[in-house]
Chain A
Amino acid sequence: DAMVIQNPRYQVTQFGKPVTLSCSQTLNHNVMYWYQQKSSQAPKLLFHYYDKDFNNEADTPDNFQSRRPNTSFCFLDIRSPGLGDAAMYLCATSGWRGSPLHFGNGTRLTVT
C-alpha cells in the first residue's frame, strides 16, 4: 500500500546532541510537511516543501532544519535539541496544496 513511513518510531537523544528524523513516501506526492505535536496539543506546522521549494513557518525556531533530497524522502534535523523539543514529530504529504494530507504515524522524540 502507498504510504508515509517515519523512522524510527521512538528516538531518544541527549540535550544538545543533533538528531535527524526521517520520512519517506511511496505516494509520489509533491508536497511534504513536518508537524510538531506536544502532549495534549494539536499538531503545529513547522515547514513544508512544495517540490524543492522550502517554506518555513514564521515561528519555527532556527534550531529546526529540513532537507528533501528527492521526491520520496524528507528529513527533519534538530541541531541542538532542548528539553522543550520533546514531542511527536509528524510527517505528511499531499498531491498539491489544498488536497487531503496523508500522515505518517510519527516519531516520538525524547530529550534527556
Chain B
Amino acid sequence: DAKTTQPNSMESNEEEPVHLPCNHSTISGTDYIHWYRQLPSQGPEYVIHGLTSNVNNRMASLAIAEDRKSSTLILHRATLRDAAVYYCIPLSQGNLIFGKGTKLSVKP
C-alpha cells in the first residue's frame, strides 16, 4: 500500500478556502486518490476521488500533481460543519487503509 503524509492539523477561518495537502510519492499507476472525512462521532464520509485529472464535486475539488506524487483537497468556502479529520488514501483494487489524516479546525 502506498504511504501518505499529511499535516497533523490545520486551521481555517469560516468562509475562507482551505487547501489540504497530501504527499503520496509511492503511489502506483493504477491507484486512485481517495479523500474521506470523519466528523466527530460519525463514520467516515466519502468526499472525492481522482486518478490524474483535477476533479470537482459539490463537496470539494481535488487537484492532482502532474507526477501524481501529491494532491490537494480544496474546500472552497469552509463552514463550521467542515471541521473534521480528512484522510487521503491511494486505492485501486485493494482495501481502504486509513493513515493518520489531518484534523481541520474551522474558526467562526
Establish whether residues B96 and A45, one from each chain, have CB atoms under 8 Å apart when the complex forms. Answer: yes
State whether A43 and B91 are in contact (beta carbons under 8 Å apart), knowing that A101-B46, A103-B44 are contacts in the complex: no
Q: Given A42-B100, A98-B93, A100-B49, is A105 in contact with B34 using a C-beta cutoff of 8 Å?
A: no
For residue B34, which residues in chain A have a CB less than 8 angstroms away from its CB?
100
Can you list, as one digit per residue, whether each of A37-50 has a CB less than 8 Å from chain B (1) or not (0)?
A: 00000111100100
Contact in complex: A44, B98 (CB < 8 Å): yes
Which residues of chain B from 66 to 93 have a CB within 8 Å of any chain A CB?
Answer: 85, 87, 91-93
Shortest Cβ distance from residue B102 to the other chain A in the assembled complex, whole angstroms: 11
A95 to chain B, nearest CB (A): 12
Report how many A-B pairs have Cβ atoms within 8 Å.
Answer: 48
Tell me whether A43 and B98 are in contact in the complex, defined as CB-CB below 8 angstroms, given that A90-B43, A101-B46, A106-B43 are known contacts: yes
* Distance from B107 Cβ to chain A, minimum over Cβ atoms (Å): 21
A102 to B49, CA, bound (A): 14
Asked whether B99 lies within 8 Å of A92 as measured between CB atoms, the reply is: no
